[in-house]
């Protein structure tokens, strides 16, 4: 099964949806159309009822090389690029949609993840990178500031000093260094990238979907909350999980000493 959206495709691997940015001739450089295509693709994945986990990757040699400036500056009659408009109407809605996704998300980073492409890559619950992949805060190279939520994400993932260094110097961060810094979860040989990502996604797809989604929501909420607020939020989510069919199955499987068969209910 394959379904096409604007510069994006969705293919099925059982209960795993593989969402692919599909502009390989430009290393999947992003545009307003691609951002909206990604939102539409993930809305389809969520609403179809067919999937219980997703993998996001890029077609060809790159994950996403940032915003394609040629798309944004080609019409002199429209005047200079309004970068704020592009963020408000395309990329901010995309980042919120990835944050609020109702199923676990793995990003499989092949090649360059630059600019907003780096921000998109870091939205995965698990980030798996090919050995040749790299991450780049490219904004300073063209006179812009970091965006796509990177100034919120990076200090929380790797600390303020390293976040500033990446953004101010705009130097490539190799996948192996990103792993050592704790920015990503796994590095594998290029040929094994999608196999590794699909294997992890299949493991998540076989899990208790409601509990996994609640877990990702808890971690997204955590930086904003006091400990008391987080304890209250954990209690609410745990109460809901305790009434799920998956919890009943998990307990039954525990006592029967057999693997649980979760159905996402």
Query: How many structural domains does the chain have?
Result: 2
Give the pLDDT confidence of 209-233 residue by residue, as tens digits.
999 999 999 999 999 999 999 999 9
Predicted TM-score (pTM) above 0.85: yes
* Strands (E) located in the chain: 2-5, 8-13, 16-21, 53-58, 105-109, 112-114, 126-130, 134-136, 173-174, 186-188
- In a domain? residue 263: no
Per-residue pLDDT, 70: 77
Asked if 112 and 174 sit in the same domain, the reply is yes
- In a domain? residue 265: no
Asked if 13 and 45 sit in the same domain, the reply is yes
Give the pLDDT confidence of 4-14 residue by residue, as tens digits.
999 999 999 99
CATH number for 237: 1.10.12
Asked if 55 and 166 sit in the same domain, the reply is yes
Range of the domain at 235: 209-256
Asked if 50 and 177 sit in the same domain, the reply is yes
Per-residue pLDDT, 79: 58
Asked if 200 and 222 sit in the same domain, the reply is no
């Amino acid at each position: 099964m394959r379904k096409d959206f604007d510069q994006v495709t969705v293919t099925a691997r059982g209960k795993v949806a593989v969402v692919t940015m599909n502009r390989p001739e430009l290393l999947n450089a992003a545009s307003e159309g691609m951002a909206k295509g990604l939102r539409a693709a993930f809305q389809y994945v969520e609403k179809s009822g067919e999937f219980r986990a997703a993998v996001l990757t890029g077609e060809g040699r790159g994950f996403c090389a940032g915003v394609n400036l040629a798309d944004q500056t080609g019409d002199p009659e429209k005047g200079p690029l309004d970068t704020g408009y592009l963020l408000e109407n395309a990329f901010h809605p995309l980042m919120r949609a990835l944050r609020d996704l109702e199923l676990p998300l793995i990003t499989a980073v092949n090649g360059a993840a630059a600019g907003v492409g780096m921000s998109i890559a870091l939205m995965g619950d698990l980030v798996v990178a090919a050995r040749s992949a790299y991450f780049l805060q490219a904004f300073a190279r063209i006179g812009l500031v970091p965006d796509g939520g990177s100034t919120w994400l990076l200090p929380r993932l790797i600390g303020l000093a390293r976040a500033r260094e990446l953004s101010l110097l705009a130097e490539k961060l190799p996948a192996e260094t990103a792993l050592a810094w704790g920015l990503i979860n796994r590095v594998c040989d290029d040929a094994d990238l999608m196999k590794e990502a699909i294997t992890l996604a299949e493991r998540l797809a076989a899990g208790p979907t409601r509990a996994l989604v609640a877990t990702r929501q808890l971690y997204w909420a955590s930086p904003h909350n006091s400990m008391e607020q987080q304890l209250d939020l954990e209690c609410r989510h745990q109460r809901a999980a305790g009434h799920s069919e998956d919890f009943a199955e998990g307990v039954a499987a525990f006592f029967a000493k057999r693997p649980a068969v979760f159905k996402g209910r």
